[in-house]
Chains A and B, each alone.
Chain A
């Protein structure tokens, strides 16, 4: 339990540090906010006034703490492009992204772990070769390419699924599959190798000698041992899904955090980029924290 507490404290510190890094990176990345918002005819005074209103003329540290203060009081600021409240925007975008990301995460583990187990159980069979080749393919193919190919096949040619947009389960299938593809591939490989490694451990022989059935040895003992590395890398899988969401949401026109962030960057909409970048950092960090706590709880050595 002490380990969990330590990880939590470290995670919070990491969150604080990375929030400043994100904040500073956006301020220092150059580009003129007034060019995007004010007409070309605006005078230098007008532009300075505009920057002053946004607080951009103050030192970064000061801006950072003002922003942090506002964040904690629930004031997320307004978009520079349409003056909409970011708070209102966030609720809807987060919900959409959470649906897509959640389904992808379910696919990663719900498909990856069983496939990996099957491959390890039938190792060196045609089934194993098939699953392993499939997973190598999954790791090698870039997601934007996979997205285009799947759109071409299932939306354009076959017309089974919509190519973009949101509304109902059908719209979720393609983006979720693309988002999960690499994670599934990696989970398959890791599950397979971890299961095979544990199947060769001495304790398996002991359990066999005690008369336990192969099924019980496999699904209870070997699986439980094999899940440890999978749990410990679940944090990475979450980070991967968050990162890929930027690309996948844009391609599939999925109105989530990724899409709004990409548009925000293109329009130099500081408050929007700032908030949603921090949100992604928050999700990735929390994902890692959850994986780390999960690993601790699943491992009797660390739990005790």
Chain B
């Protein structure tokens, strides 16, 4: 793997908060992550940890109000995406950074054919004739791994299976040749066999086109098989990040360790599924110290008083007072 020195996308100290009548708390806090050319970065964490929100913020797709970016920056191509105008953001969406969403069945407009959706996306960025737009749409469908692009072109979303819908969504993301593809749990709603095909396709596309892929997932198996680097998030913060083989082989944060321990293995014999004890605190009730302290078996005195910072270790970064190993 060759990695460029300057990141393609750099999220710096990003905070996203909920602001409304009398309420105000941050859901994502001081998140840092970088995405380099031709690499796959996995963002891992439980539901509600802020991983999707972080991804949505890149394209200004967070529901605002009530959510707002309350701090930090998202650098892309020398610009801070949190500060660009609506029209500049529109030019980035789909053309430079594209996104694939979780539930393909509800993410496609039911009233229009696959072809209309794809050609509209092409025409949103390029002044081209319909025939050209159609050609690009058919290419994108083929690239997304659809067997019979011409037939699918004239079909409506309700006529497609979940797997095909997801491929259509990938085609919609690819049709304008973006530099970055953000996939937000792209396979969660799909059958396991289809999941593998879609992931394989995404990985190949990344290699063929030299794209950068940001994969939001809660599935560590997926991370191990496709990602180069990973970021683990918990309660809106990055708790650990580093090369996938490094982090998975020797996790330093007790939460990452717990996540790995919770992965069911066929050869571990019969018995109960392992889980991390306790529950995730809500963003408005976070403790003063480490947000994981209450659930952590390595908790020491300082964990309850002082919020740990992200510290560099040999080849990873960890936010922990008492890291593993």
Assembled-state Cα–Cα distance A212/B91 (Å)? 9
Q: Give every chain B residue within 8 A of A211 (Cβ-Cβ).
A: 90-95, 121, 124-125, 176
Interface residues of B in 65-112 (CB under 8 A from A): 86, 90-95, 98-99, 101, 103, 106-112
Most chain A beta carbons < 10 A, residue from B98, B109, B159:
B109
Decide: B110 and A301 in contact? CB cutoff 8 A.
yes
Q: Does A300 contact B (CB under 8 A)?
A: yes
Assembled-state Cα–Cα distance A5/B90 (Å)? 45
Band of interface residues on B: 20 to 34
Tell me which of B90, B113, B156, B172 contacts A206 (CB under 8 A). Answer: B172
Assembled-state Cα–Cα distance A214/B124 (Å)? 11
Q: Give every chain A residue within 8 A of B156 (Cβ-Cβ).
A: 300-301, 304
The 7 closest A-B pairs by CB, nearest first: A211-B94, A211-B93, A210-B121, A210-B94, A209-B99, A203-B109, A202-B106
Main secondary structure on A side of the interface with B:
helix
Q: Does A224 contact B (CB under 8 A)?
A: yes
Q: Give every chain A residue within 8 A of B106 (Cβ-Cβ).
A: 201-203
Q: List 30 A-B contacts (CB under 8 A).
A: A202-B101, A202-B103, A203-B108, A206-B109, A209-B98, A209-B173, A210-B94, A210-B98, A210-B120, A210-B173, A210-B176, A211-B90, A211-B91, A211-B93, A211-B95, A211-B176, A212-B120, A213-B90, A220-B120, A221-B112, A224-B111, A224-B112, A225-B109, A225-B110, A225-B111, A300-B110, A300-B156, A300-B158, A301-B158, A304-B159
Q: Does B262 contact A (CB under 8 A)?
A: no
What string of 1s and 0s marks CB contacts (under 8 Å) between A68-85 and chain B? Answer: 000000000000000000
- Known: A210-B173, A301-B158; 8 extra A-B contacts, CB below 8 A, are A202-B101, A202-B103, A203-B108, A212-B124, A220-B120, A225-B111, A299-B111, A304-B159
Q: Does A27 contact B (CB under 8 A)?
A: no
Decide: A208 and B93 in contact? CB cutoff 8 A.
yes
Decide: B93 and A206 in contact? CB cutoff 8 A.
no
Assembled-state Cα–Cα distance A225/B110 (Å)? 8
Q: Does B169 contact A (CB under 8 A)?
A: yes
Assembled-state Cα–Cα distance A29/B121 (Å)? 64
Chain A nearest Cβ from B157, distance in angstroms = 8
Q: Does B61 contact A (CB under 8 A)?
A: yes
Interfacial residues, chain B to chain A (CB-CB below 8 A)? 59, 61, 86, 90-95, 98-99, 101, 103, 106-113, 117, 120-121, 124-125, 156, 158-159, 169, 172-173, 176
Interface residues of A in 63-117 (CB under 8 A from B): none
Decide: A213 and B93 in contact? CB cutoff 8 A.
no
Assembled-state Cα–Cα distance A53/B241 (Å)? 99
Decide: A210 and B110 in contact? CB cutoff 8 A.
no
Interfacial residues, chain A to chain B (CB-CB below 8 A)? 201-203, 205-214, 216, 220-221, 224-225, 299-301, 304
Assembled-state Cα–Cα distance A208/B62 (Å)? 11
Given contacts A202-B103, A209-B98, A211-B125, contact A221 B61 (CB under 8 A): no
Assembled-state Cα–Cα distance A263/B169 (Å)? 63
Chain B nearest Cβ from A1, distance in angstroms = 16
Q: Give every chain B residue within 8 A of A301 (Cβ-Cβ).
A: 110, 156, 158
Q: Give every chain B residue within 8 A of A208 (Cβ-Cβ).
A: 59, 61, 93
Assembled-state Cα–Cα distance A301/B156 (Å)? 8
Assembled-state Cα–Cα distance A207/B101 (Å)? 11
Assembled-state Cα–Cα distance A300/B117 (Å)? 14
Chain A nearest Cβ from B154, distance in angstroms = 11
Q: Give every chain B residue within 8 A of A207 (Cβ-Cβ).
A: 109, 117, 120
Assembled-state Cα–Cα distance A220/B124 (Å)? 13
Q: Give every chain A residue within 8 A of B158 (Cβ-Cβ).
A: 300-301
Q: Give every chain B residue within 8 A of A216 (Cβ-Cβ).
A: 120, 124
Assembled-state Cα–Cα distance A209/B52 (Å)? 14
Decide: A205 and B121 in contact? CB cutoff 8 A.
no
Chain B nearest Cβ from A258, distance in angstroms = 38
Chain B nearest Cβ from A202, distance in angstroms = 4
